Amino acid sequence: MLRAVAATLFVVAAVAPPSTGEAATASKPVKHPVVTVHAKEFAFIAPVSIAAGTTTFRLVNDGKEVHQISILQLAKGKTVADYAAAMKAHKPAPWAVGVGGPNAAGPGQTIDATVTLDAGSYVLVCWVPSPGVPVPHMAKGMIQPLTVIAPGGVTQGGAAMTYVSESAPDVHLELSEYAFKLSKPLTAGKQTIHVMNTGTQEHEAVLVKLAPGKTMKDLDAWFESGMKGPSPIEPTPGMAGLGKGRTGTFTTNLTPGKYGLVCYIPDAKDGKPHSMHGMVQEFTVAAK
């Protein structure tokens, strides 16, 4: 979330390769293992390795600021140090592919996102900047490696793995250049949203609830100010960056009001956030 600010410091012009992810089509609940990650200023507490497959990442925000988990798959031979160096040097990293993640949790919140991971090397990143300080949390240490290995014999921190049941999605959300397309309007209440990137570039789904009387233009102005003053939004669960063809699901519980969808991933051609290319959508969630 909020890579608009981060983009001015770390330009990521990555074009993702084809995904092996598949759309959720289950007609009955399916159980997925849960990997719990705690976040605070400015670090993740997460397992060093997990089993490959479809997994629910549960982000528990123990901090006082908003945090997210953006999960990136690294090409063979690449490391977290390589990725950090590329970001510091403002160099593109097409070998780091977004595979989603919980996006984003406010202080004290716990949110989930379900993604499918192949065996390989990954990195967990928080792109959210601190209010008034336009530096992404990853630059302050919120970047951590994760190894995904073949299923079998992996436990989280030596403890027995927990599982969560996921039903068929209520709504399908399609991401592309430069638009959001919902299969049907979002409604008040709890719902599971399936997200798929049908575009050629990486995209994210930042879902926010607007404060009374505020619009997405107020959100833009707040970001441009360096996030100074009262926030015009409250964080709502969404999906972190997904590469081309990638999919994932997240669950949210919406209350009536005005909301916005926005993508802040930097564009592969000009480095500007996709929001500046029109990837912004404002809508209203009515009471049932």
pLDDT at 208: 95
- Rounded distance, CA 62 to CA 40, Å? 5
Residues of the chain under the 70 pLDDT cut: 1-28, 152-161
* pTM > 0.85: yes
Phi and psi angles of residue 233, each rounded to the nearest 5 degrees, phi first: -135, 165
Give the domains, in start order, of the chain with CATH numbers. Answer: 3-20+29-285 (2.60.40.420)
CA distances from 264 to 12, 93, 154 (A): 11, 17, 34
Phi and psi angles of residue 207, each rounded to the nearest 5 degrees, phi first: -110, 125
pLDDT at 152: 62
Write the burial class of residue 157 (CB in 10 Å: 0-12 exposed, 13-18 middle, 19+ buried).
exposed
Token pair listed for 140: 């302050």
pLDDT at 184: 96
Beta bridge partners of 190: 253
Q: Are strands 129-130 and 133-136 parallel, antiparallel or unpaired?
A: antiparallel
Token pair listed for 198: 């049908």
pLDDT at 225: 87
